[in-house]
Each structure stands twice: as C-alpha cells, then as structure tokens.
Amino acid sequence: MQLTATYLLQLTVNGLMLGLLYALIAVGLALIFGVLEIINFAHGEFLMLGAFAMAFALPAFGLLYGPALAVSVAATAIAGLVLYELFLAKLGQGEFERSILITMGISMILLYGMQYLFTATPRMVDTSFGFAGVTIGAIRVTWSRIIGGAVAVAAFALLYAVLILTQFGRAMRAIAQNRDAALMVGIRPRTVARNAVMLATALCGLAGAVLAPIQLVQPAMGQAMIFKAFALVIIGGLGNMAGAFAAALALGMIESWIGGFFDIIWQEAAVFTLMIAVVLVKPDGLFQRGGMRVG
C-alpha cells in the first residue's frame, strides 16, 4: 500500500474512533478493579449484551439512535446490578481466585445462553443514517463512527465529572484509595461497589451499543475484546483509569496503522506484544498503579 499523508490521516482517524471504543471497555475494567480489587472475566459479555440490546431496540424505536442507545445502556446497567447482587457481593475484598472462577462461569453462561437463544449467526444492525458519512477531501468517515466517537467522548467527560465533582464519585475514589479510612467516615463499601459495577457495565454496554452499527453483532463478539481490554488495563497500570484510557487510544491507532500496511494477524497481536514489552520494562504498567486514579 502506497504511503500518503491522506491515507495515513484516514488510518489515524479510524484508529482514534476504535481506540475510544476500546477505552470504554478498559476503563470499566479498571473501575471494577480499583474499587473491588477483583477480576471480571464476564465484562466482554456485557459488551455483547449492549450490542444485542441495540440490535433489538433500534427497530422498536424506528431506527432512532438516541432512544435505542439509552435503552441499551440502561439494560446493561441493570444486568450489572444483577451480577453484583447475586454473585460479586458475596466476594471479599481482593478475592482474585474466586472472582476469576465465578466471572468466567458467568461469561460462559451468557455466551452460550445467547448462542442458544439467537444462534451464532452474525446480525447486521441498521440505523436511521445508514451508511452515510462525512467526506473531507479524500477522507471519509461514516456517521456511525462519528456519532459513536462523540458519544464515547461525552461518556468520558461525564464519568470524569461524576468521579471528581459528586459524592457518588468521591465515595468510589475514597474506597479505592483507603478502604479503612473510608469506612471510618461512614462510607458504605457495599453500596459503592454496587454503583461501581453498574457504572462499569453501563460503559461496556455503551461500547457494545455504539459498536453494533459498525460491525456484525454475534454472541462471541465480546470474547476477543475482553482480552484486549485486560491487556490495556495492565499496560496502563491496574486500577489507573487514565492509564487505561491512554493505552486504549494508542492501541486503536496502532492497530489501524498496522492493518493499513500489514496482514490482519499482526493487528491482532499488537496489544499483546505491547503488553509483554511494557511488563518486561515496567511491571506495574506505564502509569501509577492502584487507587482508581482518574488523572
């Protein structure tokens, strides 16, 4: 493929949009680890649930994007509430082994349950703006990607405001940074943990809903995404949300650049190659680890 400034810019724009979607997933994982100090292997299935919710909600709302998106996010947030109340609330702080076994089991149940109900056949999802887009010179970006990127940016701005400016967010940060001190001032860890799980699954469901009109929807779509998200959380520093966000944006652009010039197999290997390199040089990740840091 011939290298031109326009072609490289097109790859960069596509990579930025992809990186924002990766960030929605990775930041949710970092949030759960920061507050609960557990690993959620079912996180990718919430992306899948968000995508399927979008696939069913869009026709119900006459292909209107906004209402269908809201329903998808609400549905995954409620699913996150069920996940916490039935399973994660019974875990102690930092119970890695049990959290891995429980969430892997939930992941398999959701994956194969959705396959049984809806088969493994990929679904195309249409919106009211179809395949239309914006063309600037030789660069073209579809409205699905533009609106998806804008929704992701708005979600991150809202998340930052919630964590910094509200009692809801300050309680999460307090539990993550010093659990004992937070308990002494009356913060209830169960409530905070439940809110964190719901917020994280809502972000993941938002990513799935945004992704639904861009790629085919199928029950296994969250499997590949979740391993990339785990790698991003490790690269950024466990529990560091800003680190996960930065790593996700970088990965999106790296994958797009690699995909533009090399075979797709190298595109899929990029995140794990980067993770291994980072762990060898900085075992705690590129950014400071722990405490659910947002900046």
> What does the DSSP assignment read for 97-138?
HHHHHHHHHHHHHHHHHHHHHH-S--B----TTTT-EEEETT
Q: What confidence tier does 293 reach under pLDDT thresholds 50, 70, 90?
A: low
Q: What is the pLDDT of residues 144-157, one digit of tens each?
A: 888 999 999 999 99
Tokens of 178: 């010093």
Return the amino acid letter for 24.
L
* Integer Cα distance of 67 and 192 in angstroms: 28
Q: What is the pLDDT of residues 38-88, one digit of tens each?
A: 888 999 999 999 999 999 999 999 989 999 999 999 999 999 999 999 999
Give the residue with greater pLDDT, 112 vs 185: 112
Domain boundaries, the chain: 24-221
* Integer Cα distance of 196 and 40 in angstroms: 12
Q: What are the backbone dihedrals phi and psi of residue 27, each rounded to the nearest 5 degrees, phi first?
A: -65, -35
Which residues partner with 140 through β-bridges?
Answer: 135
Q: pLDDT > 90: what percent of the chain?
A: 46
- pLDDT value at position 27? 93
State the average pLDDT over residues 20-42. Answer: 90
Non-local CB neighbours of 172 within 8 Å, separated by 6+ positions: 31, 34, 35, 163, 192, 195, 196, 292
Tokens of 293: 């840091």
State the average pLDDT over residues 190-208. Answer: 94
Q: What confidence tier does 292 reach under pLDDT thresholds 50, 70, 90?
A: low
> What does the DSSP assignment read for 254-265?
HHHHHHHHS-HH
Q: What confidence tier does 140 reach under pLDDT thresholds 50, 70, 90?
A: confident
Non-local CB neighbours of 214 within 8 Å, separated by 6+ positions: 142, 144, 145, 148
- pLDDT value at position 160? 92
Q: What confidence tier does 96 reach under pLDDT thresholds 50, 70, 90?
A: confident
State the average pLDDT over residues 165-179. Answer: 84
Lowest model confidence (mean pLDDT) among 19-28, 175-184, 199-208, 232-241: 175-184
